[in-house]
Each structure stands twice: as C-alpha cells, then as structure tokens.
Amino acid sequence: MIADWDVLERARQGDESAWLWLVARHSPALLRTALLITGSLSVAKDLAQESFVRLLDRGPPHPHGSFKAYLSTITFRLALKEKKRGQRQTELGNHDPVDMARSPLDEVLADERQRQLARVIGALPESQKAVLILRFYGQHSYEEIAQITGIPLGTVKSRLFHAVKACRRGMREKGLLE
C-alpha cells in the first residue's frame, strides 16, 4: 500500500487522481469533525476544503508522522477558530452528523437517536467534546488526539472516559439507552 505522504507528493506534481484519492479517503472524517465542533454543515464543508488547500499549499514540515493526524490537526484548529469567531454557526440539533458514504435516502431516514446523540455531545464541556469527536468521529488513536490537541495522553484518556460516561447518562435520561 502506498503511503498517504507519497500520494500527496504525486498530487503536488499534478496527478489529479492522487488528489481525488486523498480527498475521498480523508474528507468524511474531516467533515464529521468540523461539523460536530462548529455545528454547521456548510462551515464544515468549507473547513474540510480549506484543510486540503492548506495541505497542498504548505505541506508538512516533515512527512514522517501520521498523515491522518496532520490533516485532522489542520481541520481541528480551523474549526476551533471558526467556533471562537462565532460566525456562520447554526444549531447542531438541526443537522445530523454527516457520513459521506450514506445515500441521500439514508440521510432522510436517519433516526431520532442520532439527533439526540448529537444534542448530548453538543452539551458536553468543550474539552470533553473535542476528544470524543476526534476519537469516535475522526477515528483517531489516543496518541493522535494528544498530538492534535496538544494535551498529555493521560488527560486525553481521562476526558474521553468522562465524555463517554456523560453521553451514556444523557442518552439514558432521554430513554434511548438502557
């Protein structure tokens, strides 16, 4: 299997198929992460695109670490900046978390449980929400989350534990979990 860093280098040299492959491979996780942080689907799409533009323009200082973590760090930081600015935000409860592999029919048929879970996640403290989103929606390892957020590994584990516990409690209160 070719490493993502090698595919990026091919994309920089003008290989459009390499670029399309990178976007298809990584954009669903970037969209989910940005959506859950900002609460806006349109902003999430913009931030995912901006992340790829920055990757192509600037690139990493050294292509030896995790490509996924590097790209997710860009998206994560852009999303936090956007949220801080408070521009173009909509209420998270108005959108389902996006899975780009789903058909339009699947999106229409998304059940109430997912909307309620998004509301429960949205109510978490920012520090817990960030690690939960990166772990379960961004599919990052604990080590990658520590790298992306700049917090110690033990803190990542602790925040994730408390976030999952709070989500379970919230879902139980809504009658969606036994």
CB 105 within 8 A of CB 133: no
d(CA 98, CA 22) in angstroms, rounded, equals: 18
Question: Distance (Å, rounded) from C-alpha 108 to C-alpha 92?
Answer: 17
Per-residue model confidence as pLDDT tens digits over 85-103: 874 444 444 454 554 555 5
Structural domains in the chain? 1-92 (1.10.1740.10), 104-178 (1.10.10.10)
3-state secondary structure of 113: helix
What pTM was estimated for this model as a whole?
Answer: 0.63
Task: Tell me the pLDDT tens digit for each residue of 34-49.
Answer: 888 888 888 889 999 9
Residue indicated by tokens 């059940």: 111
CA–CA distance, 173 with 171 (Å, rounded to integer): 5
Q: What is the DSSP letter of 39?
A: S
